[in-house]
A = this chain, B = another copy of it.
Amino acid sequence: MPLSFDLPPAAIPGQSVDAIDTPSLILDLAPFTRNVARMQDAADRAGVKLRPHAKAHKCPEIALAQIARGAVGICCQKVSEAVPFVAAGVTDIHISNEIASPTKAALLAELARHARLSVCVDDASQIDTLAAATEAAGTQLDVFIEIDVGQGRCGVADAPAAIALAERIAAHPRLSLRGLQAYHGGIQHLRDWAARRDAAAQAAERTGAVLAKLAVAGVQCEVVTGGGSGSVEFDVGSGVYTEIQPGSYVFMDADYGSNAYPGALRFEHSLFIATTVMSVAAGDRVILDAGLKSMAVDSGLPWIWADGAASGALEYVAANDEHGIVKPRQAGNLAALPALGSRVLLVPGHCDPTLNLYDALVAVRGGVVEAVWPVAARGLSR
């Protein structure tokens, strides 16, 4: 007999969060909404624009909520990632990354029929590839020169290199230099607040020095974009950035949650993985039904979430492909172990690659499923 049914959905609106199948990715709408507002208010107070990074959530409903609250558009990290956001009606997207292939440039130039699009460059040949693609499509692109402010990844090293690229961009009528991108990923997770402040100040200072030399050379930078969820409280007041591009603040994963935030700008955990205890046979530990295929562990193992805080009694100690091993923090405290079949909530270590594992995000309010949002850009890394 041929198979006559599809897999049931992750959740159904109106359902109790305790009734949905596991593992499932849960967005708690109350703290999520507060996070969206808090970042927008911080940007507004400082007079900088907020362009949240959609690589963190890959979810058009979240992008539209951010824009409704005041964001000027979104960032994407890959050209393909932008497709579902353009389809959902987002009209202003910055690809905060370089591309070096005619295939990707052609897709970007095609998307530019439907939205205002910008992209980074750090090499003359990337500019020529973009120029050829926009010429073929008959469209326009904004271009940002990326400068390396200490990350050691992409970006040119100094002002002369940036000026040379600016001249190259100016030679192509379908490309417009919009400004500079200066992002330092490496400082986002410095745990100590003062160390993060000083590192962000250094990055801003390097950016400011390049800007000054560009101005002398007559290169106008209308927009300076950068900043992440760990540095943004310093970036907004730097006087250098006109636009910030944090992403993870909507969720606050365990990695960002491990930073110290003595200042006023802190965000709440809104993203959880609902799991079920599937085996208790070992006696001194329990086994959850969520492992490497349900969470990214590159930035550490997840926290167990209990009563609105990271559990002091239980620890997720190892992730296998589809199993999570949970032990009491205090050896022998077996009374703390949850029963077979019971639910355990996790805060993932790193939100961006965790979202990239799920096709749906279950939005809940007060413990009740309100909506199931497609993670429409999941897997779109081309």
Contacts and interface: CB of A to CB of B under 8 A. Distances in A.
Interface of A: 1-3, 5-8, 10, 21-24, 55, 77-78, 80, 83, 86-87, 97-101, 103-104, 107, 110-111, 113-114, 122-123, 125-126, 146, 148, 152-157, 161, 185, 276-283, 285, 287, 289-290, 292-294, 296-298, 319-323, 325, 340-341, 350, 352-353, 356-359, 378-382
- Stoichiometry, copies per complex: 2
Contacts of A114: 1-3
A97 B161 CA distance: 57
Most chain B CB within 10 A, of A5, A55, A97, A293, is at: A293
A155 B319 CA distance: 17
A278 B154 contact: yes
A280 to B, nearest CB: 7
A23 B103 CA distance: 12
Contacts of A289: 78, 99-100, 381
B320 A185 contact: yes
Interface on chain A toward B: helix, strand, loop, or mixed SS? loop
B123 A280 contact: yes
A312 to B, nearest CB: 24
A278 B185 CA distance: 18
Contacts of A2: 87, 114
Given A3-B83, A83-B3, A380-B7, A22 B322 contact: no
Contacts of A152: 282, 285, 325
A80 B7 contact: yes
A101 B341 contact: yes
A381 B294 contact: yes
A356 B357 contact: yes
Contacts of A3: 83, 86-87, 111, 114
A320 B53 CA distance: 15
18 contacts: A23-B382, A78-B289, A97-B323, A100-B340, A100-B341, A101-B276, A122-B279, A122-B281, A123-B279, A152-B282, A154-B278, A154-B282, A154-B323, A157-B281, A293-B356, A293-B379, A293-B381, A357-B381
A101 to B, nearest CB: 6
A208 to B, nearest CB: 20
B154 A322 contact: no
B292 A353 contact: yes
B319 A298 contact: yes
Contact of A279 (B153, B157, B281): B153
A356 to B, nearest CB: 5
A24 B353 contact: no
Contacts of A294: 381
Given A278-B100, A341-B100, A381-B290, A78 B21 contact: no
Contacts of A358: 379
Nearest to A3: B87
A10 B380 CA distance: 10
Interface centre among A55, A98, A325 (most CB of B within 10 A): A98
Contacts of A8: 107
Given A123-B340, A155-B281, 20 more contacts: A7-B380, A21-B382, A22-B382, A78-B289, A78-B322, A99-B278, A100-B341, A123-B281, A125-B340, A126-B340, A148-B281, A148-B282, A153-B325, A154-B281, A156-B281, A157-B281, A289-B381, A292-B298, A293-B356, A358-B379
A113 B2 CA distance: 9
Nearest to A23: B381
A189 to B, nearest CB: 12
